[in-house]
Amino acid sequence: RQRVVADVFKLQNTILEYEQDEEHRVDKKSVMRLLQRLRAGGLIKTITVKFTTKMGCKESTLVLHPSVQPDDIYLTSIIEQLKLKFIPAQVKKDRRLPTNNLPSNSNSTSGAITGDVICSETSALAEKTLSSETLSVSVIASDAKQQKQASKQHTNNKKKKLPVVNPTLGRVGPKFKRLQDLHHLLFYLVRDYSGDPNLSQEEAWSKIYQDNPALEPRDPSLPRIYIPELSWRMFIPPIPNHVKEADGWGLMCDVVVCLPLYLFVRIIRCTITPELFTWLKHPIKKFLL
């Protein structure tokens, strides 16, 4: 049913579903040995895709039907989806409140330890000074006050850390304005696409610099362009046509990888970091995918 299997683990789960009545479970090594035999017999093809990032390298094994070619649009779509999957997530700083401001009934490990210490101290005080009833009331009152102060401080911290969006760059508009931007992208991809995959890059860039003489010299690391104009459409490739018989259809997994940065920050609210702000100010890089 599938011409490309992007994950061997999914293939293993499919085999397990068919073998629920058996007494044995197939493991990943057995699946790999079966795939090697099928590949040797010419019944399947396997390729290994290697993704290199700053955090390291990751490999993914794809199982293909013999009819799938390396330039198949469906295979290209699968690889683009895997790129998004293996993008390393940015390490976030620990924004938790200090231990002395946490309520005693916290579910975290530090909160539980703090709560035990408070209970032992208050029980010792109860034996020396106050009755247990009076002490329990005072502890509850102090805990409530502590929770209120911690909640107030946490709220103030959240207010301070809201994304600061520039009035002109990366502004998230009203809901229907964002829907309009998304509709423009979808309509362009499935109905009104005017890009040329075989566009001459030298001639296209010459026309762009002719229309925009104030641009900086071209960066050779920029990807291929498909339209000789300076707009959010310039880097968008055509989406694969998985439904051969009908026009005007596209998969959202293909649309997501074609979303330019310029439209991404207008549709989705995100924190505008100084590095991202620099990209959005650049006349060309803000249109990158």
Which range is most confident: 12-16, 142-146, 206-210? Answer: 206-210
Look at residue 184 in the predicted model and tell me its pLDDT: 92
Our CA dihedral for 66, 72, 77, 80, rounded to 10 degrees, sits at: 90
Q: Tell me the per-residue pLDDT of 76-100, one tens digit each, with 9 for 90 and over.
A: 878 887 877 776 554 444 444 444 4
pLDDT at 140: 41
The whole-number pLDDT of residue 183 equals: 92
Neighbours of 266 (CB within 10 A): 20
Q: Which CATH class is domain 4-85?
A: mainly alpha
Contact 234, 209 (CB under 8 A): no
**Lowest mean pLDDT, pick from 13-22, 119-128, 138-147:** 119-128
User: Using CB atoms within 10 A of its CB, is residue 225 exposed (0-12), middle (13-18) or buried (19+)?
Assistant: buried
Confidence (pLDDT) at 123: 36
Which segments of the chain belong to CATH 1.10.10?
4-85
